[in-house]
Amino acid sequence: MEATVTVQPKELHQLIAEKFVKAGLKKDQADVVANHLVYADAKGIHSHGAVRVDYYAERIAKGGINTNPDITFEKTGPSSGIVQGDNGMGHYVALEGLNHAIDLCKESGVAVVGLRKVSHTGTMAYYVQKAAEENLVAISVCQSDPMVVPFGGSGNYFGTNPIGFAFPRENGSPIAFDMATTVQAWGKVLDARSKNQSIPDTWAVDAQGNPTTDPYNVRGLLPIAGPKGYGLMMMVDILSGMMLGLPFGKHVSSMYDDLSKGRDLGHLYILIDPARFTDLTSFKQNVETMVDEIHSMTPADGFDQVSLPSERSQKKYERNMENGIPIEKNIYEYLKSEKVHFDQYSNKNAFAEEE
């Protein structure tokens, strides 16, 4: 029996959106979230795609996502602003906030926009790529559950706290990439669970602090490059949590603790108009020169070309949007079913397990 099925993007979008509407989300919001999740699956970022639908649907159904949020934007300076998300659906609020940030950046040359009280916002690359399509350089950061063991520590404090970055180019899609500040994002562990696969022993530790290959035994994720990742996740937490007057570090709400309550998460955009610093055409031409020079380098053994960050996933996205997106069969069957959610996430620890 096949482990995956190939689904056309339009069908996948429809199935995801319908599931959210059944859970209680408004159609316009459901479509925004479905666009995001299809993007993630098409790029091969399955940890942030349809695998999340069951969890989101349960939180929506149980009231932990405000389906009628009062989203407001306050300009706090010539280049700064705050979006109050009212614990609405994270992807929807984050896109609203991005649009405000883009407008502000085009007006002033630089924009720093914080989003207060949102739910999980998905993959950072989605947002920064949209900004780069407007000829802007973009950085995006957000906080997440305290599930990471600080370098030299024995307990969890910070979240996986991802960073996204994108910039425009002369030819082709913008270069957009993101990364967790851990060796792997929590969603990658969820993806391994959905596929019944083991994980590398460098990703996480068990309850005793020992490396584990069992995704169900994970009790702490590890920072990328030890102290360097530790420093980066602290930076992200300060920018998207403490600086926005929100809970920080170990005080950030757990994704699975109480699905009837809002998560009060923070998210921050930093956008820059390169035309305010140099000639835009020259900037984009220099990007193409860099791309050509990197591509012309002699690849290491086992590689056919030196690629740019996210270049392979962008090519995968273009292929999958044309030919169909591979989805785990059990996830596809859930999406097609009448089941809204499986009632399996609420009142659990950060790793979706009973305490």
Percentage above 90 pLDDT, the chain: 89
Q: Are 294 and 303 in contact (CB under 8 A)?
A: no
Q: What is the pLDDT of residue 317?
A: 96
Q: What is the pLDDT of residue 355?
A: 64
Residue 109 exposed, middle or buried by CB count within 10 Å (0-12, 13-18, 19+): middle
In a domain, 349, yes or no: no
Whether the per-residue pLDDT at 353 is higher than 80: the answer is no
In a domain, 325, yes or no: no
Q: What is the pLDDT of residue 352?
A: 77
Alpha carbons within 13 angstroms on the beta-carbon side of residue 160 total: 25
In a domain, 322, yes or no: no
251: domain range? Answer: 72-276
b/e sequence 189-223, b meaning 16+ C-beta within 10 Å: bbbbbbbeeebeeebbbeeeeeebbebebbbbbbb
In a domain, 179, yes or no: yes
Q: What is the DSSP string of 199-260?
A: --TTSEE-TTS-B---GGG--EE-BTTTHHHHHHHHHHHHHHTGGGT---GGGSPPTTS-TT
Q: How many CB atoms lie within 10 A of CB 251?
A: 12
The residues assigned a catalytic role are: 120
Residue owning tokens 């069908």 = 11
The 8-class DSSP code of residue 120 comes to -
Residue 330 exposed, middle or buried by CB count within 10 Å (0-12, 13-18, 19+): middle
Q: What CA–CA distance (Å, rounded) separates 251 from 245? A: 12
Q: How many CB atoms lie within 10 A of CB 141?
A: 26
In a domain, 212, yes or no: yes
Q: What CA–CA distance (Å, rounded) separates 140 from 215? A: 28
The three-state secondary structure class of 272 is strand
Whether the per-residue pLDDT at 80 is higher than 80: the answer is yes
**Nearest CA to 156 among 213, 223, 91, 111?**
223
**Nearest CA to 38 among 19, 25, 24?**
19
- How does residue 1 score in pLDDT terms, banded at 50, 70 and 90? very low
Torsion angle, alpha carbons of 283, 288, 306, 128, to 10: 50
Residue owning tokens 């360097």 = 228
Paired sense of beta strands 265-272 and 110-118, if any: antiparallel
Q: What are the tokens at 130? A: 């949209």
Q: How many CB atoms lie within 10 A of CB 315?
A: 14
Q: What are the tokens at 88? A: 């609405």
In a domain, 92, yes or no: yes
Q: What CA–CA distance (Å, rounded) separates 166 from 128? A: 5
Whether the per-residue pLDDT at 220 is higher than 50: the answer is yes
Whether the per-residue pLDDT at 103 is higher than 80: the answer is yes
In a domain, 133, yes or no: yes
Q: How many residues does the chain have?
A: 355
pLDDT in tens, 14-67: 999 999 999 999 999 999 999 999 999 999 999 899 999 999 999 999 999 999
In a domain, 52, yes or no: no
Helices (DSSP H) in 301-348: which residue ranges? 311-323, 329-336
pTM, whole model, 2 decimals?
A: 0.93
Q: What CA–CA distance (Å, rounded) separates 157 from 146? A: 5
CATH code at 83? 3.30.1370.60
In the chain, how many domains are there? 1
Paired sense of beta strands 137-142 and 4-7, if any: unpaired
Q: What CA–CA distance (Å, rounded) separates 22 from 56? A: 12
- How does residue 215 score in pLDDT terms, banded at 50, 70 and 90? very high
Backbone phi, psi, residue 268, to 5° = -135, 135
